Structure 1
Amino acid sequence: MQYAPTLKEKTAQFIRILLPILITQIGLYAMNFFDIMMSGHAGSADLAGVAIGSSIWVPIYTGLSGILLALTPIVAQHLGAGRKKEISFSVIQAGYLAIVISLIVIISGSLFLDLILQQMKLEPIVRQIAHDYLGALSIGIVPLFLYNVFRSFIDALGQTRVTMIITLASLPINVLLNYALIFGKLGFPTLGGVGAGYATAITYWCSCMMAVFTMLYSKPFAGYRVFKQLYKISFQEWKTLLQIGIPIGFSIFFETSIFSAVTLLMSEFATVTIAAHQSAINFASLLYMIPLSISMALTIAVGFEVGAKRLGDAKQYSFLGISIAVVMAVLTSLFLFFFRGEIASIYTQEKEVLELTKQFLLYAIFFQLSDAIAAPIQGALRGYKDVNATFFMSLVSYWLIGLPLGYLLANFTSAHAFGYWIGLITGLAAGALFLFIRLLFIQRRFAKQSTT
């Protein structure tokens, strides 16, 4: 990351940061995508079981890993201010925190997973597949959270191409292991959807090891000597990470858990409806990687400029990112509209599931524009270390507006399962409007502080 004085140079640098992040995010999400898609070809029960398991795991993972995203603006601002010696200390402390979070997740899962699944109205085979899938996935939780720390450090230095390479190297491992363990190929037993959990867990270990090797032996990371000194636990640094990270984590949790909550509420519908809903939401979430990646790139760029006290440049990056996201949203909406049949056929060949998935994908079009505004603004606000507003926005727009409205429409109108999607779209739109107003306020506040 370096200073870019003109808009043209900023655009070029932003795209250089963004493209590897986008490829990385697509690669990471593709693991979940291939889990669900390949499980679907093993049978609708496997698809529904993995979908339910993912609906429980994804909000927990994204919410808790969101806490660790606090490291990105911390490192970016240290770098912008020239405080390079502080970086390795912050990375190690975030690593300690990641291990503690991982252990809490594993212990909590062993205590409460059965209870959660028993409360759901699932067919016994679907419940068992969901349970065993999550049990298999738990083997990779520690390296997954550690990798999030290492990735935040690498990306904050502007070296996003490195994490892209690690992800691209990991993805074929995941697909090959899915093929072997789901379908019983290459001498492995046929495990169905459960095999996807083992495949993904092993892939997490591979990604983590590649990141460690890179930080030890590749420039510029080796120069920060991250692993040369194992600092004592600093609860003060943990406090700093948590003060920034907890609001980030909760805002991400509220956003991702709303989709999982809808999936769980839809367990009262037939397995076919669950499978179609999850297929559509899975692809819509894949497209969400575009505004999410722009958001992450904005955190790096805005954080760097704020650390260097170049507030005008930070503002330019903010609106540059939002503009790119809106253009991409228009393109992805057109893609969804014209190719929804082909997209649905990726997940299943069962006629009833296929037709329902196509209908759900029409509603997914309306997610695109709201996400294109809300996600980049969240990234820009994190660059300013303004994180409490996004937490509040996520709670209100998703849980106090989106979910209640969706429940009413699904249960008291003819919209049925589609009612939940209408509620989500309404919540997303409300959140996007609130965040835009908040960004303008923060930019004005920083501008006033710089003149006093």
Structure 2
Amino acid sequence: MITTVNYKDKLKQFMIILLPILVTQIALSAITFFDTNMSGKASSTDLAGVAIGSSLWIPLQTGISGILMGITPIVSHLMGSGHKSKVAYQIIQGLWLALVLALAVMLVGVLFLPIILDGMNLEPQVRYIAFHFLGYLSIGIVPMFAYTVLRSFIDALGKTRISMTITLIALPINILLNFLLIFGYWGFPRLGGVGAGVASAITYWCVFALAIFFVHRVKPFAEFNVFRKWYGLSLKAWKELLKIGVPIGFSIFFETAVFAGVTLLMSRFDTITIAAHQAAMNFATTLYMIPLSISMTLTILVGFEKGAGRLKDARQYAKLGISTAVLLSLITAMVLLLFGRFVAGIYSDESIVIELTQHFLIYAIFFQISDAIATPVQGALRGYKDVNHSFVITFISYWVIGLPVGYIFSEYTNLGAFGYWIGLIIGLIVGATLLLGRLVRVQRDQIIKITSS
């Protein structure tokens, strides 16, 4: 990364880092997108099974990945303050933590997944698909979390094109494996939605292998000698990483888990409603990659400037990121308004599913606008290493306000399944407002601290 002196330079630096992250995030989400989309082409039962499985998996995946993403602000601050020699040690500690967390998640799955699925009112075939989808997917948990650490290191150096390259190589592998294993082409077994889990697991191993190659062999990453010396476990280093990463992880977990919670609560509805809901939610999640990518970019840039003591530049990057996200959210809103039926048709050939999905997509518009403020603000706050308040705000907005309100609308009005979406929108609006207020306060306190010292 370079030091910028004017707004034009900042915009250029912002776009250089953002665009590869955006492509990477879209490609990563495309793995889930194609799992869902291609399963839906197999049957609505396969779509519903993968929907339930994904709803259980994604909160854990994003939450644990969020914890490991604490590596990004740590490395950004080390680079901004000129402590390059300490980076490799932090990466190895992150990999140890990734291994432990992955094994913990797998143990939880073995103990509680059957109980959770048995407690849901699922059709037998939907339950079968959900259980085996997750079972095969678990084969890729360790490499996926380890890749998150390596990717956070790569991105923290501003070399986001490398992450993009890795993901773009892996995506066609996932699509090909889906074709082979979901539909049974070229003599492979026709596994339906279960095949999507196998394909994703293999893809995660490929992504991890590519990341190891780049970090070990390609400059500037090879200069850090990450794998030249293998450090033992350090609880002190874990404490620093967890202090930053846990609030990040829980913030992301609470946000993604509330959407998963809605899907699980909607298991009382018929398979068609579950399939349509998940199709709309999957597309909304794909669009969410835009503000999420901006958020990750702001963590890198704000962290770098904060580490170097350039608070004015950090504030300018935050404003640039938030305004860009809002503008892009308005564009995606127009896309959903004009092409909602076409988008719904991507997920299913059944007319009733298409019609219901299109209705859900209208509500997704309000998701995009709220996320355009809340998500980049969280990224900027992480750059300042201010993560605890985001965690509390996210919990209150989604779980104290959003989900209960959605339940009330769904159960006690004639809105039915759409009531949950209205509740989530209300929670998102509250969260965006509170997070923006927190960012303003943090920036003001930073200025007061500098002027008084």
Q: Same fold (TM over 0.5)?
A: yes
Aligned residue for 2:44?
44
For the residue of structure 1 that corresponds to 2:42, the secondary structure is coil
Distance, in Å, in 2 between the alignment partners of 1:64 and 1:212 is 20
Distance, in Å, in 1 between the alignment partners of 2:80 and 2:2 is 9
Aligned residue for 2:357?
357
For the residue of structure 2 that corresponds to 1:385, the secondary structure is coil
Distance, in Å, in 2 between the alignment partners of 1:81 and 1:302 is 13
Aligned residue for 2:89?
89
Aligned residue for 1:111?
111
Distance, in Å, in 2 between the alignment partners of 1:56 and 1:232 is 33
1:180 maps onto 2:180 in alignment: yes
Deviations 1:238-279 (A, max 9, x none): 000011111001010000000000000000000000000000
**CA shift for structure 1 position 108:** 1.1
Equivalent AA in structure 2 for residue 106 of structure 1? M
Distance, in Å, in 1 between the alignment partners of 2:274 and 2:427 is 22
Aligned residue for 1:79?
79
Aligned residue for 1:444?
444
Q: Which ranges of structure 2 fall in alignment gaps of 5 or more residues?
A: none
Distance, in Å, in 1 between the alignment partners of 2:205 and 2:72 is 22
Aligned residue for 2:330?
330
Distance, in Å, in 2 between the alignment partners of 1:47 and 1:232 is 44
Equivalent AA in structure 2 for residue 248 of structure 1? I
1:252 maps onto 2:252 in alignment: yes
For the residue of structure 1 that corresponds to 2:219, the secondary structure is coil
Distance, in Å, in 2 between the alignment partners of 1:214 and 1:367 is 36
Q: What are the equivalent positions in structure 2 for 1:162-241 lying under 5 Å apart? A: 162-241=162-241
Distance, in Å, in 2 between the alignment partners of 1:367 and 1:203 is 29
**CA shift for structure 1 position 121:** 0.5
CA RMSD of aligned residues (A): 0.5
**CA shift for structure 1 position 351:** 1.1
Q: What are the equivalent positions in structure 2 for 1:238-317 lying under 5 Å apart? A: 238-317=238-317
For the residue of structure 1 that corresponds to 2:415, the secondary structure is coil
Distance, in Å, in 2 between the alignment partners of 1:177 and 1:450 is 55
Distance, in Å, in 2 between the alignment partners of 1:253 and 1:186 is 39
**CA shift for structure 1 position 79:** 0.3
Equivalent AA in structure 2 for residue 381 of structure 1? L
**CA shift for structure 1 position 346:** 0.1
For the residue of structure 2 that corresponds to 1:4, the secondary structure is coil
For the residue of structure 1 that corresponds to 2:187, the secondary structure is coil
Aligned residue for 2:126?
126
TM-score normalised to structure 1 length: 1.00
Distance, in Å, in 2 between the alignment partners of 1:450 and 1:146 is 38
Equivalent AA in structure 2 for residue 259 of structure 1? F
Deviates more, 1:172-181 or 1:366-375: 366-375
Distance, in Å, in 1 between the alignment partners of 2:402 and 2:130 is 26
**CA shift for structure 1 position 167:** 0.2
Deviations 1:101-139 (A, max 9, x none): 000011111111100000000001000100000000000
Equivalent AA in structure 1 for residue 217 of structure 2? Y
Deviations 1:402-439 (A, max 9, x none): 00000000010011100000000000000000011000
Structure 1 segments of 4 or more deviating over 3 A? none
**CA shift for structure 1 position 16:** 0.4
Equivalent AA in structure 2 for residue 227 of structure 1? F
Distance, in Å, in 2 between the alignment partners of 1:143 and 1:358 is 36
**CA shift for structure 1 position 232:** 1.5
Deviations 1:329-370 (A, max 9, x none): 010000000000000000001111111001000111111111
1:154 maps onto 2:154 in alignment: yes
Aligned residue for 2:414?
414
For the residue of structure 2 that corresponds to 1:358, the secondary structure is helix
Aligned residue for 2:34?
34
Equivalent AA in structure 2 for residue 12 of structure 1? K
Distance, in Å, in 2 between the alignment partners of 1:183 and 1:82 is 53
Identity, % of aligned positions: 59
Aligned residue for 2:374?
374
For the residue of structure 1 that corresponds to 2:447, the secondary structure is helix
For the residue of structure 2 that corresponds to 1:14, the secondary structure is helix
Aligned residue for 2:344?
344
Equivalent AA in structure 2 for residue 403 of structure 1? L
Deviations 1:351-403 (A, max 9, x none): 11111001000111111111000000000000000000110011100000000
Distance, in Å, in 2 between the alignment partners of 1:378 and 1:272 is 35
Q: How many residues align?
A: 452
